[in-house]
Every structure is written in structure tokens, then in C-alpha cells.
Amino acid sequence: MLSLERVERSLESAGQSHVLQFWSELSEEDREGFLQELSQLDLDGLKEHCEGATRAAASPPASLDQNIEPVPPEFIGSVRRSDKRSLSEWENEGLLQISGNQVGVLLLAGGQGTRLGVQYPKGMYNVGLPSGKTLYQIQAERIHNIQELAGRKHGSKCTVPWYIMTSEFTLAPTEKFFKENNYFGLEPSNIVMFEQRMIPAVTFDGKVILQGKGKIAMAPDGNGGLYKALVDNKVLEDMKKRGVEYLHVYCVDNILVKMADPVFIGFCVSKGADCGAKVVEKACPAEPVGVVCRVQGVAQVVEYSEIQPETAELRGPGGELVYSAGNICNHFFTRAFLHDVAEKFEAQLKQHVAIKKVPFVDTCGNPVKPTKPNGIKMEKFVFDVFPFSRSFVVFEVVRGDEFSPLKNADGAATDSPTTARNSLLAQHCRWATAAGATLLDEHGNALPPTTSVSAGNNPPAQCEISPLVSYFGEGLEPLLKGRTLPTPFILDEKRAKELQAQ
Ligand code: UTP
């Protein structure tokens, strides 16, 4: 721990002396805690951090229209546009890599989930499925099943290690939750939780925000904090030790995420890619998602705010959007690429500005909950490493099958617990129908079959299939063909065994 004098000097030269304005009012214990916190700050970089934040917040978003072009088709794979044979070749390749213990998954779970507004990590959220499962449980069960699928196919027992990046906000509750739930049946030594760094939030005039008299308002450094955290926590070494060569990185909030998706992994591996992005077709030109494209010849995600509406609306000869590759934060990286990023490129990653409401104490030390945004949080983004890739590929998947994020609280029109729950139930209704089942509504009337994903995300009935029974709709025919199923219907392992025995 640094001395008070040393901290005072550093804060002064960074123009941040106000940080200690309540020092004389703090108890001995609070002083010690605060000094500890301040000692862990990058005090030498603090001046630049604060000035950089105000500069970045004041500068208008770049306009990239003149310099962008779509990713050329030869670097794009697509579920919709590929034949069955290619898809199954990629899947086999992916399963082979998984069976050889070469694939890991990495969850980005350090965010604060402010839009959802719960006081616990988003992964612990229960969206109201009939089973009551949380996002973490669904993901754990998918890992379990993909290990089984790959192992069965290749006659080996294999492991997909689960790396979980947390932050100061999410580490302790996530650890506790996993422990209480017995790691959802996974082997605890194959779950590696680690913490990303935190950085101070700053006012519009470049002052570190005090959240309490002896506490700085700190925020995680964005999901691009991953690359520092991989080094800080020796995660790349852990991957090397386990022989993990490929990593599937994803966000906590996508209820449909296909953990270690063998088709995606297989596609990227067979193309010799070092970095890949899963995308979905943009729903409409104005959808506020980043687009994977090229800027001056280099792969990049361009934010909706960085291009003009006219560019977003451009269409090709078949009427399709030219910039349609919506980024869904589902990435493939080789370990070698991550190593290069960590060693050579991390410092070059772009800083993004998020303007947020940050609770603070006023000059009298009274806590204030701002009603409008008052602070700047600087963040790095996980996708900003794309420009450093030497062989970058894109893989387009079907939104209704793979992407439904939980961002907002119920009541919002999009990306809420209800929309996430509905997407999953609609998908499971499709799987059951495709396997030959007839679903009955709550009055006992047969529902018309819905096998097409274009039928939308409103589930005709409550039908939930455990990821322990089926990972992507496979293996259901022997259980469900020709059956008439009253709903709500939950197909868990126990029910699957009963159906098998009948
Ligand atoms: P979001 O951008 O949706 O942010 O994160 P968020 O913090 O979850 O939610 P809001 O904006 O406060 O409502 C996308 C993914 O990146 C992770 C999140 O946990 C989520 O999986 N993330 C975000 C991190 O791991 N670290 C961060 O610093 C920020």
C-alpha cells in the first residue's frame, strides 16, 4: 500500500486533489480502505485517463462512410446460404476439435447490467421459463451437452473449459451462486473465474467522481478489458496448459447462445481463421447494432452512430442491405491470436465513451442520485481486435435460432425478459414440431405446426426442452415423434427417460 503523502502528490499532479477532500472526516478503518483503493489505481496514468475521457466525450463521432465496404463474400459463411453438406462438414470439424479438448468458451460477465436494473449479476437472472432456469444454468447445461455430443461421436471423454470474466461487481455473487448450485453439474476445476480491471468514472470537466466520502466511482473497463484481464490472471497460460487452441467468446445476455457452437468453430478452423465473428442479418437499416465490415480494407465493427442513415440504407441488387452483418458479440479466437493481441496490440485498442448516470457525493458529502447523465465511463470493446487479425472470417446465423439478448427490464419493446423467454420457447416449439410432435394448447386443441423460424418469436405454447436433453434440436425424434403433448410441456432428463421407456 502506498503512503498518504505519495497518493496526495500523485493526485495533485493529475489535477485530482478533490478526491481527498473528505479525508479528515473518515474513520481510521475507512481511511485504510480508501488508501488501499487509491494505491491500486494507475496514478501515473490518471491525468491522461481524465483528460482523454473529456476529450473523447467532447469529440463528435467519426463518420466512416467514405471508407467502408462490406466484408468480401469469400470470407463469409452463412447458415442460410450453405448446403447441408458444408454445414455438416463444419459441424463435424467442430465436434472433432471439441472432442480433442482443443476448444474453450469464455463468458463476458463483468457488465453492470444497468438497463436491466437488478442488483445481482445478469447471469443469475431467471427470465420466467417454466423450469425457472437462470441464464447461467442454461449455459452450463449447454456446455455439459456439447461435451457429451462431441465425446460420444469420437469415443472420448472431453472437456470444454468455461472461462468467466467477472468484475468487482459480479465476481463474489457469481462464485457464490455457482457453489450453491453445485456448479450445475460441471467439474469445478473446469470453470475458471477471473476479474477484469476497474477504472474511475469522470465528470464532463475531467474530475474523478467520488461515490462516497472515501470511495471513488469505479466502473469495469469494458468487455475489451478482456485482453488485459487474460494477462493479469494468467488465463492464456491456463489455456495452453489444457491444450485449448480455440476460444468461443460470448456475452452473458444472449439466451439462445450456442456454447462452443461446433458449426461456427468448424467453419472458422476449416478457413484457417485466427479471428471470427458470428453475425445476424440486421432487422432493418436503423437497428442500432454494430455492423461487421471493412474500414480502409481492415475488418472492424462500425457502430450505428458512425455511419450516415443513407449508408445504413444502401441495398444490393437483390434488395438486401449492403451493411447487414449485425454484430452479436459471439467471437472465435485462436489462442495464438489472443497471445499476439495481449503482447503487441492491447495498448492500441480504441477507447469508447459511455455517458452514464453515476451516483456521487456533492461538495458537502451528501449522496446524490443523478436524474440525468453526469459522468463518463471509458470502455474498450472486445471486437476492437478485429483489425489485428490476419485471417478474419464472418459467419452469418439465423437470428431466431441464435440471438435474443436480455438488455432491458420488462416493459421495454425489445430485448427484455419476455422477449428472451419467448424466443427460447418459440425455438423449442419448432424443435418439438420438427421432431414430429403435436402440441396442444391449454384447452387441449392441437396447435398448427410451426417449424419455420420465420414464424416469429411468439411461442404458440409453453414448450421447454432442457439443454441436457438437446443442444440444438438434435435427438428429439425418438422421444417425440407421433406424440401429442399437452402444454406447458417441460422435456427434462427425467421426462426424456420416461418417454424413452414408453
Ligand atoms: P453490455 O454492453 O450490454 O453492458 O455488455 P452491460 O453492462 O451488461 O449492461 P448495461 O449497458 O449496463 O445495461 C455486453 C456484454 O459485455 C459484458 C457484459 O457482462 C455483457 O455480457 N461486459 C460489459 C463485461 O464483461 N465487462 C464490461 O466492462 C462491460
CB 108 within 8 A of CB 226: yes
Q: Which residue has the cell 442479418?
A: 281
Query: What's the confidence (pLDDT) of residue 472?
Result: 97
The mean predicted confidence, pLDDT, of the chain is: 96
* Of 105, 107, 108, 303, best ligand 1 pocket probe by most atoms within 8 Å of the beta carbon: 108
Can you tell me the distance from the alpha carbon of 134 to that of 124, in angstroms, rounded to the nearest whole number? 5
Q: How far is the CA of 108 from the centre of ligand 1 (A)?
A: 8
What is the residue with the minimal CA distance to atom 20 of ligand 1?
Answer: 251
Contacts of 478 (CB under 8 A, 6+ apart): 500
Q: How far is the CA of 314 from the centre of ligand 1 (A)?
A: 30
What secondary structure letter does DSSP report for 408?
S
Please indicate whether residue 424 or residue 305 has the higher confidence score (pLDDT): 424
CB 452 within 8 A of CB 433: no
* Ligand 1, pocket residues at CB < 6 Å: 108-115, 122, 165, 167, 196, 220-223, 225, 251-253, 407
Can you tell me the distance from the alpha carbon of 129 to that of 144, in angstroms, rounded to the nearest whole number? 20
Q: What are phi and psi of 360, to 5 degrees?
A: -150, 170
Residue 251 CA, closest ligand 1 atom number: 21
Q: How far is the CA of 353 from the centre of ligand 1 (A)?
A: 14
Residue 250 CA, closest ligand 1 atom number: 21
Residue 113 CA, closest ligand 1 atom number: 9
Domains of the chain: 65-402 (3.90.550.10), 430-501 (2.10.10.100)
Q: How far is the CA of 111 from the centre of ligand 1 (A)?
A: 4
What is the residue with the minimal CA distance to atom 10 of ligand 1?
Answer: 113
CB 20 within 8 A of CB 9: no
Tens of pLDDT, residue by residue over 25-39, are 999 999 999 999 999
Q: How far is the CA of 237 from the centre of ligand 1 (A)?
A: 25
Strand partners, 192: 163
**What SS3 state is found at 4?**
helix
* Of 171, 252, 384, 415, best ligand 1 pocket probe by most atoms within 8 Å of the beta carbon: 252
Tens of pLDDT, residue by residue over 403-462, are 999 999 999 999 999 999 999 999 999 999 999 999 999 899 999 887 777 766 789 899
Can you tell me the distance from the alpha carbon of 183 to that of 495, in angstroms, rounded to the nearest whole number? 22
419 phi-psi bin (left φ>0, alpha ψ -120 to 50, beta other): alpha
Q: How far is the CA of 467 from the centre of ligand 1 (A)?
A: 24
Q: What are phi and psi of 415, to 5 degrees?
A: 50, 45
Query: What's the confidence (pLDDT) of residue 60?
Result: 81
CB 200 within 8 A of CB 208: yes
CA neighbor of 146 nearest in space, from 194, 91, 188, 191:
91
Please state the separation of Cα 493 from the chain's center in Å. Answer: 28
Please state the separation of Cα 351 from the chain's center in Å. Answer: 18
* Of 124, 171, 232, 251, best ligand 1 pocket probe by most atoms within 8 Å of the beta carbon: 251
Tens of pLDDT, residue by residue over 179-223, are 999 999 999 999 999 999 999 999 999 999 999 999 999 999 999
pTM over 0.75: yes
Query: What's the confidence (pLDDT) of residue 290?
Result: 96
Considering just the CA atoms, what is the radius of gyration of the chain in Å?
A: 24
